Chain A
Amino acid sequence: MNKTLKATPPVQLWEVFIRSRSGLAHKHVGSLHAEDAELALQAARNLFTRRGEGLSIWVVPSHLIIASDPSEKGMLFEPALSKAYRHPTFYNVPEEVGHM
């Protein structure tokens, strides 16, 4: 054959986010292997929405996710632990408001 065939791109890892109901945020549900974006979306549908879990799917190449460094968790997160006043628990919510 004379023509050049495009080789299928190598398999990569994708993270899957599903929005289960209108008004909710997309939630991370797992990861999968796929060759490209379209196949990743299909695989996400096939793997993670079999029991009616989803209204919307996001897939993101895992390598594009920028993660915090676990060794920096002291610097990043511990300062917040001593600041209980940031939780809005000191306000009285009028009963008419109901569940916020």
Chain B
Amino acid sequence: MVTNTISVSETPQVLYALRRADDALILGHRLSECCGHAPTLEEDMALANIGLDLIGQARALYALAALREPSLEGGRANTEDTYAYLRDVGQYRNLLLCELPNGDFGRIIMRQFLYSAFIDPYWRAMMKSSDAQLAAIAEKAEKETAYHLRYTSEWVIRLGDGTPKSHDRMQAALEFLWSYTGEMFDTDEAEAMLQAEGMIIDASVIHDGWRTTVQTILDRATLTLPQSAWMQKGGRSGRHSEHLGFLLAEMQQLPRSEPGAVW
């Protein structure tokens, strides 16, 4: 038996929660792929810890989406699990940055750094949300992401300003990831409605602070900010890279083929 894909009633509030939840889940899943494969035991634990933080954030946001989604036909409601396991690629709303394959340790660190430098001030600003539940999620998440930013910054500095080989790998990772960073600051009509109500902040206000943080760390790491201004987008509306399908296939295989399976 194979479980069918769910349908989601994407009101602005639901769409918003799913976007943030999907970022955290997909990036968290990418980090879980490193489990047992990091360069040292110490870093293995560090990456797994960050992955668990992100998956915890995803759960809180999926639970919020479930609470806010109008009930489906027959009174059925979506849950954290159905959002995670029973949506297809085109229904995922995460940033393309989060789904990119891991590559080497340098790229894993750089991807996490670029995201953490954005999401930490983002959640800090969201602590003032007029929505008490979102503000509470933001407050918990910010403590975690503050550490992610510190951890990845230290590694970016050491690897960038390390050996010629580690420097080149970090510069290559930065070039590879750069065009995927613009999507973090995008906003659309659905989010503009929530911004007008004071529920969420406009992500574009984070941009200048993010750029300063990134520039400061890259300077210390002797890395060069790419000049290209052209940015990829599509993840927020379900247009994904070819990589997400493989990730979902692995993540969803068990719950889809064994519905209701428990530990």
B105 → A minimal CB distance (Å) = 13
Total A-B residue pairs with C-beta atoms closer than 8 Å?
48
Q: Specify which of B154, B161, B163, B164 is in contact with A42 (CB 8 Å cutoff).
A: B154
Interface of chain B, helix or strand or loop or mixed? helix
Q: Specify which of A3, A8, A36 is in contact with B222 (CB 8 Å cutoff).
A: A3
Contact, CB under 8 Å: A34 / B163: no
A57: CB under 8 A from chain B? no
Contact, CB under 8 Å: B222 / A43: no
- Nearest to A42 among chain B residues (CB) is B151
Q: Beta-carbon contacts of A41-53 to B below 8 Å, as 1s and 0s? A: 0110111001000
Contact, CB under 8 Å: B164 / A46: no
CA distance A7 to B151 in the complex (A): 19
Contact, CB under 8 Å: B167 / A5: yes
- Nearest to B164 among chain A residues (CB) is A5
Contact A34:B162 (CB < 8 A) given known A3-B222, A42-B151, A46-B49: no
Number of interface residues of A (CB under 8 A): 20
Contact, CB under 8 Å: A46 / B158: no
Q: Specify which of A1, A8, A43, A47 is in contact with B158 (CB 8 Å cutoff).
A: A8
Give every chain A residue within 8 A of B136 (Cβ-Cβ). none
B82: CB under 8 A from chain A? no
Contact, CB under 8 Å: A5 / B222: yes
Contact, CB under 8 Å: B162 / A8: yes
- Nearest to B40 among chain A residues (CB) is A33
Give every chain A residue within 8 A of B154 (Cβ-Cβ). 38-39, 42
Give every chain A residue within 8 A of B49 (Cβ-Cβ). 46, 50
B42, B45, B163, B166 — most chain A CB neighbours (10 Å): B42
Give every chain B residue within 8 A of A43 (Cβ-Cβ). 42-43, 45-46
CA distance A42 to B154 in the complex (A): 10
Q: Beta-carbon contacts of B136-157 to A below 8 Å, as 1s and 0s? A: 0000000000010011001100
Name B95-151 residues within 8 Å CB distance of A: 147, 150-151
Contact, CB under 8 Å: A46 / B42: yes
Write 7 A-B pairs (CB below 8 A) sorted by A numbering: A5-B161, A5-B162, A6-B161, A7-B162, A33-B42, A46-B151, A50-B45
Taking Cβ atoms with an 8 Å cutoff, the residues of B that contact A are 40-43, 45-46, 49, 147, 150-151, 154-155, 158-159, 161-164, 166-167, 222
